[in-house]
């Protein structure tokens, strides 16, 4: 018997976490659902659930290697087959044969077994929380309830593709300058370690008087050669401590709050969050899912804990009878456009369409910021690296020029 941690949305509409001893995650899920609660996640106390055999359906090594793109393609093909009239089990069988990702093939096979046992598709998918998010499961459940599972899957596939593109843009915008800066620093360090010592020996042999700037460059080079490993260890230690800190609740809150306040990138993160929130809510609401359930699902998949906590307060306000737009405005986390588009959607009865337009707008804004950041970073880094190399060259050649002047 193992100990499992869980998070649920209880019958009172509140989020609740706890621990329970059980034989398997499936048993935990049955117990919690039997109490009328909605499961957000279940995991072993010492880590993510790993099943003990095929019968439990949780053990598949390397699940994280199933990309969003692989999942999007699978979902689109699955929905298309269902719309063409294929039974769920038959469609899964076909997908299992034509999918190239072997880890996804294993999952499809186990889901197919669950469906053949008479279980709902959503129940089979829910056994793989590392692959199928609460958002995905909610869309499948909505499709099962409405009898329009094929279209729900295609809608989910389109959402995954949009989310994949947006995430890559954000990742690229934040990774590119860091990668270029690291490359530039490596070049400069190599210059200090391998090139400058040669010049130092040459100038010492000539007995040339050394200007202050040249002495400073030689001192830095000598320090890097003899003590550079200390700096490297300090950097590794600092990065390790930071990564551990941001995994703590307090560290995560500070990190996510900082992401929203950073110059340039703060605006990028905020507009990206607006796009993802609007797109996700539009997708879920258009599938006929109640607004509180939509927000509960979004709260479980949103990347920023500050916004997630804000969504908790929004859910409470809606349960008290407040409108969604008023609750969004009260939170202070959402832009005026999202609030206004939500208000128009509520008044006109077209909330999903208005939110979809807001998502399109902010996706375009994200594109604009990413392009501007890329265009701005290149000249800044070129000036920085070029200026640093220019200082080094001046420091190295200045003694030579001075000696030439003395000779004349």
Confidence of residue 15 (pLDDT cuts 50, 70, 90): low
Residue 186, pLDDT above cutoff 80: yes
96-117 residue pLDDT tens? 888 888 888 889 999 999 888 8
Strands (E), 198-315: none
Query: What's the pLDDT at 367?
Result: 83
Q: Residue 380 is part of a domain; what is its CATH number?
A: 1.20.81.30
Name, of 140-149, 350-359, 362-371, 383-392, the range with top average pLDDT: 350-359
3-state secondary structure at position 100: coil
In this predicted structure, the answer to whether residue 193 has a pLDDT above a threshold of 60 is yes
CB 292 within 8 A of CB 165: no
Specify the higher pLDDT residue, 123 or 9: 123
Determine if residue 288 is left, alpha or beta; phi over 0 gives left, psi from -120 to 50 gives alpha, anything else beta. Answer: left
Is the predicted pLDDT of residue 51 greater than 60, yes or no? no
**Does 99 map to a domain?**
no
Mean pLDDT of 199-203: 75
Residue 148 lies in a domain: no
In a domain, 155, yes or no: no
**Any domain includes 49:** yes
Average pLDDT over residues 72-101: 89
CA-CA-CA-CA dihedral for 76, 77, 79, 82, to nearest 10? 170
Any domain includes 195: yes
pTM over 0.75: no
Which residue, 59, 75, 96, sits at the end of a domain? 59
User: Residue 12 sits in which domain range?
Assistant: 1-59
Q: Which tops the pLDDT comparison, 257 or 30?
A: 257
**Which among 282, 286, 264, 262 has a CA at the least distance from the CA of 274?**
282
Q: What is the pLDDT averaged over residues 69-94?
A: 89
pLDDT value of residue 236: 92
Own/partner contacts of 398-402, CB < 8 Å, gap of 24 or more, are 398/211, 398/213, 398/214, 399/203, 399/206, 399/208, 399/209, 399/210, 399/211, 399/214, 400/203, 400/208, 402/208, 402/209, 402/211
Residue 231: the pLDDT is: 86
164-173, 222-231, 341-350, range with the lowest pLDDT = 164-173
Checking if the pLDDT of 401 tops 90, the result is: no
Among residues 35, 59, 83, the one where a domain terminates is 59
Determine, yes or no, domain membership for 241: yes
- Report the range out of 112-116, 207-211, 400-404 with the highest average pLDDT: 112-116
Number of domains the chain contains: 2
| Residue 286, token pair as written in the block | 């258009």
159 pLDDT more than 70: yes
- Whether residue 162 is contained in a domain is answered as no
Least confident of 172-186, 311-325, 382-396: 172-186
53 in the same domain as 185: no
What local confidence, expressed as pLDDT, does residue 249 receive?
84
Higher pLDDT, 65 or 359: 359
Q: CA-to-CA distance for 240 and 149, rounded, in angstroms? A: 45
Tell me if 31 is assigned to some domain.
Answer: yes
Confidence category of residue 406, pLDDT binned at 50, 70, 90: low
pLDDT at 135 over 60: yes
Tell which of 21, 42, 59 closes a domain. Answer: 59
Question: Which of 30-39, 49-58, 187-196, 278-287 is most confident?
Answer: 278-287
| pLDDT at residue 67 in the model | 82
């Amino acid at each position: 018997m193992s100990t499992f941690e869980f998070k649920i949305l209880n019958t009172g509409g509140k989020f609740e976490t706890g621990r329970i001893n059980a034989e398997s995650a499936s048993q935990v899920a049955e117990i919690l659902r039997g109490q009328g609660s909605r499961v957000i996640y279940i995991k072993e106390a010492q880590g993510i659930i790993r099943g003990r055999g095929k019968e439990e359906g949780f053990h598949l090594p390397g699940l994280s290697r199933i990309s969003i793109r692989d999942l999007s393609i699978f979902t689109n093909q699955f929905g298309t087959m269902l719309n063409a009239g294929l039974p769920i089990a038959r469609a899964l069988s076909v997908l299992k044969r034509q999918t190239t990702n072997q880890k996804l093939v294993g999952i499809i096979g186990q889901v197919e077994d669950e469906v053949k046992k008479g279980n709902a598709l959503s129940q089979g998918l829910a056994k793989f929380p590392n692959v199928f998010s609460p958002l995905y499961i909610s869309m499948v459940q909505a499709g099962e309830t409405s009898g329009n599972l094929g279209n729900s899957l295609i809608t989910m596939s389109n959402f995954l593709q949009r989310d994949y593109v947006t995430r890559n843009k954000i990742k690229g915008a934040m990774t590119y300058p860091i990668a270029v800066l690291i490359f530039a620093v490596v070049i400069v360090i190599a210059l200090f370690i391998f090139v400058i010592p040669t010049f130092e020996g040459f100038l010492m042999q000539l007995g040339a008087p050394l200007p202050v700037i040249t002495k400073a460059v030689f001192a830095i080079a000598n320090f890097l050669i003899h003590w550079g490993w200390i700096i490297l260890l300090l950097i590794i230690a600092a990065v390790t401590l930071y990564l551990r800190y941001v995994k703590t609740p307090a560290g995560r809150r500070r990190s996510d709050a900082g992401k929203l306040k950073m110059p340039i990138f703060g605006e990028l993160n905020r507009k990206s969050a607006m796009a993802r929130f609007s797109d996700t809510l539009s997708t879920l609401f258009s599938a006929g899912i109640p607004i509180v359930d939509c927000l509960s699902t979004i709260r479980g998949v949103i990347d920023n804990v500050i916004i997630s906590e804000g969504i908790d307060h929004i859910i409470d306000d809606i349960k008290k009878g407040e409108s969604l737009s008023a609750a969004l405005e009260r939170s202070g986390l959402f832009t005026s456009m999202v609030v206004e588009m939500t208000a128009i959607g509520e008044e006109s009865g077209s909330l999903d369409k208005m939110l979809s337009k807001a998502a399109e707008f902010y996706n375009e804004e994200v594109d604009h910021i990413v392009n501007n950041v890329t265009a701005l970073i290149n000249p800044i880094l070129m000036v920085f690296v070029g200026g640093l190399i220019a200082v080094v060259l001046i420091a190295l050649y200045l003694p030579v020029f001075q000696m030439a002047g003395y000779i004349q």
